[in-house]
């Protein structure tokens, strides 16, 4: 059962190519502010574009060398044809580097459909929700024109429930990380969370249901050791996490867009479906680039640290919170 999450993560491209034989379209996305609910409503499989954790030189003619390795690695995957199965590619308003990677992708990679979703950067503004609601309406219309099929309220309800169920199940899995002896190592949880971003969530939900049946009796072979929390932006660096946990520690929680921040809050249904979806993405635990003027991530991170009994925070200065937490029981590893 747990091996299946690893198979999806490791063989992500083969998985999607096989899924595509069903006749459905596949949309790659650069940022987790992409509204997966609307894509599922349109019977489109959303797939997170991630890097390969390998040094890249192919991007040099296309993007500034001073841009972060992650965005250059993502672009390299497109330039090298790793995502040649995509029918479309999109981004929601992200950091400058990811926007550069996306713009270069749509110029130099032959992906038939591209879309730029203008998500507000200042999510704390009173205008953010109505503004995003309008942008979601334009995105919905573009998908209807692209697929040639209308997206009904019933379709959106189905999309919301599929994605909400995945969030709900992942949160239940995370409860088992709070135990004195966690039922899962951080490496295994990372694969579970990231695989949800590159597979059909209907299948992934079934896998999570089966995993939850086994977790109450499951125990790790190793000692828990130091209870770590990782903080940052995107992180699916499996070798790094394996090295850290091999030294006698367990990552019990994280604040990443490939982990808890991706799924933590759900869409709360309301009559206006697009308003409900907009509210979810505006109210979610913010990305560091959107966490202003007030630093709303700090209380959330402190609460996670308390709930999961974190002893040490492991991250980098780019995480943007190490100096601001100032918690007497926590130290930064970055």
Give me the pLDDT at residue 61, please. Answer: 81
- Render pLDDT for 51-92 as a digit per residue (tens, 0 to 9): 888 767 888 888 888 888 888 899 999 999 999 999 999 999
Q: pLDDT confidence of 284, banded at 50, 70, 90?
A: very high
- Average pLDDT estimate for 295-303: 91
C-alpha triplet 36, 134, 255: angle, nearest 5°: 40
C-alpha triplet 133, 139, 141: angle, nearest 5°: 105
Give Cβ neighbours of residue 281 (< 8 Å, ≥ 6 apart).
33, 35, 119, 132
Q: pLDDT confidence of 317, banded at 50, 70, 90?
A: very low
Give me the pLDDT at residue 234, please. Answer: 85
Give Cβ neighbours of residue 42 (< 8 Å, ≥ 6 apart).
25, 143, 144, 147, 149, 151, 155, 159
- Answer yes or no: is pLDDT of 133 > 50: yes
Give me the pLDDT at residue 332, please. Answer: 44
Q: pLDDT confidence of 319, banded at 50, 70, 90?
A: very low
- Answer yes or no: is pLDDT of 37 > 90: yes
Question: Where do the domains of the chain lie, and which CATH numbers do they carry?
Answer: 19-152 (3.40.50.11890)
Give me the pLDDT at residue 129, please. Answer: 97
- Answer yes or no: is pLDDT of 94 > 70: yes
8 A C-beta contact, residue 279 and residue 308: no
Average pLDDT in the chain:
91
- Answer yes or no: is pLDDT of 233 > 70: yes
For the sheet containing 44-48, what is the strand order? Answer: 44-48, 25-29, 88-92, 113-117
Give me the pLDDT at residue 325, please. Answer: 47
Give me the pLDDT at residue 330, please. Answer: 52
The Cα-based distances of 296 to 123, 282, 290 in angstroms read 11, 12, 10
């Amino acid at each position: 059962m747990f091996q299946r999450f690893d198979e999806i993560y490791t063989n992500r491209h083969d998985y999607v190519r096989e899924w595509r034989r069903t006749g459905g379209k596949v949309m790659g996305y650069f940022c987790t502010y992409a509204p997966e609910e609307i894509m599922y409503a349109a019977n489109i499989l959303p797939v997170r574009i991630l890097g390969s954790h390998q040094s890249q030189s192919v991007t040099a003619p296309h993007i500034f060398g001073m841009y972060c390795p992650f965005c250059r690695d993502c672009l390299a995957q497109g330039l090298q044809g790793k995502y040649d199965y995509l029918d479309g590619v999109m981004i929601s308003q992200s950091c400058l580097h990811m926007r550069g990677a996306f713009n270069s992708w749509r110029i130099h990679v032959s992906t038939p459909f591209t879309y730029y979703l203008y998500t507000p950067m200042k999510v704390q503004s009173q205008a953010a929700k109505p503004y995003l609601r309008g942008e979601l309406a334009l995105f919905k219309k573009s998908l209807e024109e692209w697929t040639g099929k209308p997206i009904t309220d019933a379709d959106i309800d189905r999309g919301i429930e599929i994605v909400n169920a995945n969030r709900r199940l992942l949160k239940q899995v995370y409860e088992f990380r709070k135990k004195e002896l966690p039922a899962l190592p951080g490496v295994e949880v990372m694969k579970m969370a990231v695989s949800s971003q590159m597979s059909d969530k209907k299948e992934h939900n079934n896998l999570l249901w089966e995993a939850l049946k086994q977790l109450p009796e499951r125990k790790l072979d190793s000692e828990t050791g130091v209870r770590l929390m990782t903080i940052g932006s995107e992180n699916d660096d499996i070798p790094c996490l394996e090295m850290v946990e091999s030294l006698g520690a367990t990552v019990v929680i994280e604040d990443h867009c490939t982990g808890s921040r991706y799924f933590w809050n759900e869409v709360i249904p309301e009559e206006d479906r697009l308003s409900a979806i907009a509210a979810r993405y505006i109210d979610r635990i913010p990305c560091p680039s959107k966490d202003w003027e007030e630093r709303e991530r700090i209380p959330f991170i402190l609460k996670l640290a308390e709930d999961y009994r974190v002893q040490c925070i492991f991250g980098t200065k780019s995480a943007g919170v190490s100096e601001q937490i100032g918690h007497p029981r926590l130290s930064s590893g970055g």
